[in-house]
Amino acid sequence: MMSHLHLLKITIWKIFCRGCGYVWVLMFLLSSLHGQFYFGRNKIQYEQFDWQVLTTPHFQIFYYPAEETLAQAAAFWAEEAYGELEQKFNHTLARLVPLVIYSNHLHFQQTNTIPYLIPEGVGGFFEFMKGRVVLPNNGSMYDFRRVIRHELVHVFMHAKINAKAQEAGTWNYRYPPLWFTEGLAEWWSTGWDTEAEMVIRD
């Protein structure tokens, strides 16, 4: 769904898993990379959002009042996906998942859940350090539901891997490759459809 952001996410996780001493190196690298990719651009927050919280059995959904209807739809689809993924992963999440929704991509680009700029075309992301799912509404309820399901696959995958690592008493392991993590997330978010057929044929 978002090329370099997912690569960065996985790279961060790999480095973090090899010991806390690497975290400071990571912070330096991130600040350097941020400057190289977006020289001359700053992340500007134009809006002050009046955040509300809708709590469900498995989620805390953060939204602003104008998007209450969208938040309720997100709650329904997130709980729907949770029930399916809990069975597929044979895993129950230990805490509520924060789900942060924005009414459009411009608002989404102002998010302070991550420090770096969000490129155009990014439909959402899973920020694993605090376990947050962040996504905008692009005007399509089909896409909105699909992105929720896609990112929740990442949430469950991360939690399952983390749990197995704890059981094994190790943090030194290989994270699944990008083709697997993204492929599974996309497959379980939509199943097989005409778009997937087109990609395979191309």
Rounded Cα distance between 53 and 92, Å, is 22
DSSP structure class, residue 132: E
pLDDT tens per residue, the chain (202 residues)? 444 444 444 434 343 333 333 333 333 334 334 444 444 455 566 677 788 999 999 999 999 888 899 999 999 999 999 999 999 999 999 999 999 988 777 677 777 777 777 767 777 888 877 889 988 888 889 989 999 999 999 999 998 988 888 888 877 777 888 888 888 888 888 866 676 566 556 5
Give this prediction's pTM.
Answer: 0.70
CATH number of the domain enclosing 68: 3.40.30.160
Within a 10 A sphere around the Cβ of 18, how many other Cβ atoms?
13
Residue range of the domain that includes 8: 3-201
What is the domain count for the chain?
A: 1
Residues 6+ apart with CB under 8 A from 68: 52, 54
